[in-house]
Structure 1
Amino acid sequence: MSEYCDPGLSPVQMAQPLPERKFRIRTVLIPVLFLGLHYLVINIAALLYMLAYIAITAAGGSSEILQSLQDPAYLESIMIEQYPQITVIYSAALIPVYLIYLILSGKRDQRSLLHEPVRLTAILPALAMMIGALGVTNIWFNVLYGLQDSIPFIENQMQDYMETAGAFSAESGYFWLILGVSIMAPVGEELVFRGIIQGELRKALPEWAAIIIQAVVFALFHMQFIQITYVLLPGLLLGLAYAWSRSIWVPIAMHVLFNFLGSALPAMIGTDETLGNILFFSEIAFILVGILAGLYFWMKNRNQNRQNLPGEV
């Protein structure tokens, strides 16, 4: 079989012939296994944390603990209120596993993990794209708010989302909110969705197909209709930035920024309507900047690929 050169790799890497793209069982198996692991560890961490929380806070002994465990509403309230701490726990467990797998896999196949040094010409447009995506998200939420009065399904989904969004409050403290939601969760998710899943898909499929599939999987994994609708665009941008920058650090930085501006900062602003409006409209105004930054990023990547493509022998 012939070999090919992947334009998503650096000039040094492209000098080394790579195996031909080929769909294998592992193309599906590896992403499914790691998605299952991600979901399992999240639930185990949540369960253990809730058990410990109830045991510590229960004043009435074992009888009160048992009663609390039988109250779904109480358990859900703990899950929401303590979500940042739970996020820190499961991310701390998963991140080392993902890193070890990616490092070992990268030794066998250099396409498994792209980790070139981060350049300003990549990170700045990538961050601008992500702020623009937040602006699009703001507009989309306004559309959904307008539709919920006439479409019961959207109304129910919005209510469900708002209850879930209670997890992004400052009640647990700014430290846990920023560490869990804005830093550790993005790192873990980028390693599994862009690093592992997109990394496996790009060995078997064209880059554009790998980017689309991982973005859809990323959105569906959130398992809440409203979240699915607005997470798809960031998922696509994260996948594009990973492929264009050839560095996992770029989508990690983008994801950290998105979660901070979209979740942590609004929680810190709280009920201050003036600051909330400034943040809201600033992100919307950044849509055009994000589009221009994306075009620059794309053209820079295209020109780089043309320079890197080896001549025919």
Structure 2
Amino acid sequence: MNKLFKTSGLILLYLVIYYFFQIFYTLGLGFVLGTKHAELFGTDAFEEIINQKVMEHIPISLIFAAFVSVIIYYLICKKRNESFLNVCKFNKMSLKHVAILIPVGISIYFINIFVLNVVHGLGLFADSFAQHEESMGFILGDNLFLTILAVGIVVPIIEEIIFRGLVFSELKKHLSLKVTIVIQAALFGLYHMQLIQGVYTFLFGILLGLVYVWLKSIWAPIILHALLNLSSIIMVEYASPDFFNNYLFISFIISVVVTVSVFTYLYKNKVEAVDSFEEDIVDIVEEDHPDS
């Protein structure tokens, strides 16, 4: 029981650190701006300036929080006599695996956007979709370079370090592999604190967990995560409404075929067969079909 509490506390610490430094940066920015524009305090102009600058600095807050958090995560691992790089499995990947993950990352974006459009079109979860669109508008800011750097590169790296690296490693010490994959994905979804985004990041987290296990390198989920985010940024910035009206369905079909094909290939050609995972699957099959 003590080990369980210790593990839960450590996982909570990992999650809070990154979130805390985002808030820390934002509060610091608010204090600086409040001091600079103190003469406007209490007016609508003051509130507008603060809100605008805070929104503009979201990408920078993400980068700042990621940089500081990685240093702290490194020190925590060092304190525990563990190698940060080994815990997170920063192992080399073959160019073949990198190449086949690229179309999958893009495909997952089209699958996600198609399903969201269908659900939205049915009028389901209208309030949640409004919140989702508002939050995406904040994150995908006006500065394209900063958005690509923060959301397309830095966020995938730091979130994979947290969830597929540190959290996954702690969970796997006490739980079976299949349970670890589900729990880390659930935490990944909950961490986004928004219903629509939480659901699809949970499902995405399952896929990220699988490629992490099968390829034994955190670079695999980082590549998928980055390509999904970059696809979203590029499509929001450059795609015309005609594309979504005319080509989204065929893009969805192609994307499903690509994703299923590649994941089937990766499962059948795992890097150093994941024995514990295979044993879990065998156990499930044997429980469902006992000898007569």
How far apart in 2 are the matches of 1:30 and 1:211? 18
Q: If the length of structure 2 is used for normalisation, what is the TM-score?
A: 0.81
Change (3 A) 1:92 1:156: same
> Does the aligned pair in 1 maintain the 2:102–2:227 contact within 8 Å?
yes
Change (3 A) 1:68 1:241: farther
What is the root-mean-square deviation in Å for CA atoms of aligned residues? 3.1
* Structure 2 residue 113 is the aligned partner of structure 1 residue 138: yes
> Does the aligned pair in 1 maintain the 2:189–2:199 contact within 8 Å?
yes
Instruction: Give 1:164's aligned residue.
Output: 135
- Between the two proteins, the alignment pairs up a number of residues equal to 274
Instruction: Give 1:6's aligned residue.
Output: none
Q: Map 1:192-207 to 2 at 5 A.
A: 192-207=162-177
Deviations 1:63-113 (A, max 9, x none): 214546984x76555443432222222222222223444466573799733
Secondary structure of the structure 2 residue equivalent to 1:301: coil
Unaligned runs of 5+ in 2: 279-292
* Structure 2 residue 215 is the aligned partner of structure 1 residue 214: no
Q: Map 1:231-246 to 2 at 5 A.
A: 231-246=201-216
Q: Return the offset for 1:37.
A: 1.6
Change (3 A) 1:302 1:257: closer
> Does the aligned pair in 1 maintain the 2:77–2:83 contact within 8 Å?
no
* Structure 2 residue 235 is the aligned partner of structure 1 residue 259: no
Change (3 A) 1:38 1:133: same
How far apart in 2 are the matches of 1:110 and 1:205? 22
Task: Compare relative contact order (CA 8 Å, sep 6+) and give the higher one, 1 or 2.
Answer: 1
* Structure 2 residue 160 is the aligned partner of structure 1 residue 185: no
Work out which of the residue numbers 188, 202, 217 in structure 2 matches 1:247.
217
How far apart in 1 are the matches of 2:45 and 2:8? 37
Instruction: Give 1:18's aligned residue.
Output: none
Instruction: Give 1:294's aligned residue.
Output: 263
Moved more, 106-115 or 239-248: 106-115
> Does the aligned pair in 2 maintain the 1:106–1:112 contact within 8 Å?
no
Amino acid at match of 1:64: L
Q: Return the offset for 1:242.
A: 1.1
> Does the aligned pair in 2 maintain the 1:55–1:65 contact within 8 Å?
no
Secondary structure of the structure 1 residue equivalent to 2:269: helix
Change (3 A) 1:80 1:163: farther
Instruction: Give 1:15's aligned residue.
Output: none
Amino acid at match of 2:71: P
> Does the aligned pair in 2 maintain the 1:82–1:167 contact within 8 Å?
no
Amino acid at match of 2:169: G
Deviations 1:18-57 (A, max 9, x none): xxxx96433212111111222211211222233335555x
* Structure 2 residue 34 is the aligned partner of structure 1 residue 39: no
Q: Return the offset for 1:179.
A: 0.7
Deviations 1:245-264 (A, max 9, x none): 111111111111111102x2
Deviations 1:249-283 (A, max 9, x none): 11111111111102x2123216x334666884575
Q: Return the offset for 1:139.
A: 2.1
How far apart in 2 are the matches of 1:266 and 1:107? 41
> Does the aligned pair in 2 maintain the 1:186–1:252 contact within 8 Å?
yes
How far apart in 2 are the matches of 1:305 and 1:188? 25
> Does the aligned pair in 1 maintain the 2:90–2:217 contact within 8 Å?
yes
> Does the aligned pair in 2 maintain the 1:125–1:296 contact within 8 Å?
no
Work out which of the residue numbers 26, 40, 46 in structure 2 matches 1:64.
40
How far apart in 1 are the matches of 2:86 and 2:141? 40
